[in-house]
Structure 1
Amino acid sequence: MNINVLGASGGLGGLTGSTCLQVNESILIDAGTGVTQLLLKQMQQVRHIFLSHSHSDHICCLPMLLGNLFNVADAGAPVTVYGSHDTLEAIREHVFNWVVWPDMRELPSKDKPLLRLQEINAGEQICIDDVCIESFRTYHTVPTFGFAIRKENQTTAFVADTGYAESVIENINALGPLDDIILECSFPNELEAIAQQSCHLTPQLCLQLLEGLQEQPRRVWINHLKPDVADAVHKQLREIQPPQGWQVLL
Structure 2
Amino acid sequence: MNLTFLGASGGLGGSVTANNGSTCVQVADDILIDVGTGITALNLPQMQKIRHVFLTHSHSDHICCLPMLLGNLFNVANTEHPVTVYGSHDTLEAIREHVFNWVVWPDMRELPSKEKPLLRLQEIEAGEVFQFGDITLEPFKTYHTVPTLGFAVRRTGRQTVFVADSGYAQSVVANLNALGPIDDIILECSFPNELETVANQSCHLTPALCEKLLSELAVQPLNIWINHLKPDVEQQIIPQLPSAWKLL
Structure 2: state its 5+ residue gaps. Answer: none
Distance 2:11 2:128 in 1: 29
Query: How big is each residue's C-alpha offset from its partner over 1:198-235, in whole Å with a ceiling of 9 and x where there is no partner?
Result: 00000000000000100111100000000010011001
Distance 1:24 1:129 in 2: 10
- Does 1:90 pair with 2:89? no
Counterpart of 2:56, as a letter, is S
- Does 1:63 pair with 2:67? yes
Distance 1:233 1:152 in 2: 34
- Does 1:143 pair with 2:147? yes
Structure 1: state its 5+ residue gaps. Answer: none
Q: Which residue of 2 aligns with 1:114?
A: 118
TM (norm. structure 2) is 0.97
User: What is the SS of the residue equivalent to 2:8?
Assistant: strand
Distance 1:212 1:83 in 2: 28
Distance 1:209 1:26 in 2: 32
- Does 1:126 pair with 2:125? no
Query: How big is each residue's C-alpha offset from its partner over 1:39-60, in whole Å with a ceiling of 9 and x where there is no partner?
Result: 1000000000000000000000
Counterpart of 1:208, as a letter, is K
Which aligned runs of 4 or more in structure 1 are off by greater than 2 angstroms?
none
Distance 2:78 2:158 in 1: 31
Per-residue deviation, 1:3: 1.1
- Does 1:5 pair with 2:5? yes
Residue identity (%): 70
User: What is the SS of the residue equivalent to 1:22?
Assistant: strand
- Does 1:247 pair with 2:246? yes
Per-residue deviation, 1:128: 1.5
Select 2:197's aligned residue among 188, 193, 200: 193
Counterpart of 1:182, as a letter, is I
Query: How big is each residue's C-alpha offset from its partner over 1:70-111, in whole Å with a ceiling of 9 and x where there is no partner?
Result: 111111000000000000000000000000000000000001
Per-residue deviation, 1:152: 2.3
Per-residue deviation, 1:153: 1.9
Counterpart of 2:247, as a letter, is V
Per-residue deviation, 1:131: 1.1
Per-residue deviation, 1:194: 0.2
Select 2:237's aligned residue among 233, 237, 240: 233
Give the root-mean-square deviation of aligned CA atoms. Answer: 0.7
Aligned length: 244
User: What is the SS of the residue equivalent to 2:236?
Assistant: helix
Per-residue deviation, 1:151: 1.5
User: What is the SS of the residue equivalent to 2:208?
Assistant: helix
Select 1:179's aligned residue among 183, 191, 194: 183
Counterpart of 2:3, as a letter, is I
Distance 2:64 2:149 in 1: 17
Distance 1:45 1:32 in 2: 17
Counterpart of 1:159, as a letter, is V
Counterpart of 1:184, as a letter, is E
